[in-house]
Structure 1
Amino acid sequence: MSLILLLVACLLTCLGQVAQKYAVESWRGEDSSWAEKLRSPWLWLALLSLGFGLLVWLLVLQRLEVGVAYPMLSLNFVLITLVARFVFHETVDRRHWLGVALVMGGVVLLGQHA
């Protein structure tokens, strides 16, 4: 159950990051006031996702040692890299993919401990 909660926390955090990206992309090139920006559905999705992610993270910390749980949040690095490449069509070089592979290896090692 702890690992499922950890995965949910990661997914909510990643959703929040992606929603933030969409929010700022929708503002690009527009001369809008802060009041208009605050009405962005992407911004509100980001805030809700990150807020719920925080609540789930607190549940994770009740169940796992912080020394195990926190490094496993590096899954966010992997997920955001995949989103950057396949959703936002950003270039990801070989060194970055090597970093992703190393992070995944570390997560697998930590997952065996949890």
Structure 2
Amino acid sequence: MTLILLLVACLLTCMGQIAQKYAVESWRGKDSGWAEKLLSPWLWLALACLGFGLLVWLLVLQRLEVGIAYPMLSLNFVLITLAAHFVFHETIDRRHWIGVALIIAGVVLLGRHA
């Protein structure tokens, strides 16, 4: 159950980051003020995802030591890199992919401890 909560916290956080990106992309090239920007559905989706992600994270911290739980959040780097590549069509160089592989290896090592 703890692993599922950790994955949910990661997914919600990543969804929040992706929604933030969509929010700022929707503002690009517009001369709108802050009031109009605050009405962006992408911004509100980002806030909701990040808020729920925080609540789930608190549940994770009740079940895992912070020294184990927090490094597991590095999965967010992996998920955001995948979203950057496949959703936003950003170029990811080989060095970045090697870093992602190392992060995955680290999470696997930590996961065996938990």
Structural RMSD (CA) = 0.3
For 1:9, the equivalent position in structure 2 comes to: 9
For 1:95, the equivalent position in structure 2 comes to: 95
Taking structure 2 as the reference length, the TM-score comes to 0.99
For 1:68, the equivalent position in structure 2 comes to: 68
C-alpha distance in structure 1 between counterparts of 2:112 and 2:30, whole Å: 48
Aligned residues between the structures: 114
What secondary structure sits across from 2:96 in the alignment?
helix
Shift of 1:51: 0.2
Shift of 1:3: 0.6
1:65-92, Cα deviation, whole Å (9 max, x unpaired) = 0000000000000000000000000000
Shift of 1:103: 0.1
C-alpha distance in structure 1 between counterparts of 2:111 and 2:4, whole Å: 11
Taking structure 1 as the reference length, the TM-score comes to 0.99
Structure 2 unaligned segments of length 5 or more: list them. Answer: none
**Any residues of structure 2 matched to 1:1-114 within 5 Å, and which?**
1-114=1-114
Runs of 4+ in 1 over 6 A off after TM superposition: none
Identity in percent:
85
Structure 1 unaligned segments of length 5 or more: list them. Answer: none
1:33-75, Cα deviation, whole Å (9 max, x unpaired) = 1010000000000000000000000000000000000000000
Shift of 1:97: 0.1
Could you tell me which amino acid in structure 1 is paired with residue 19 of structure 2?
A: A
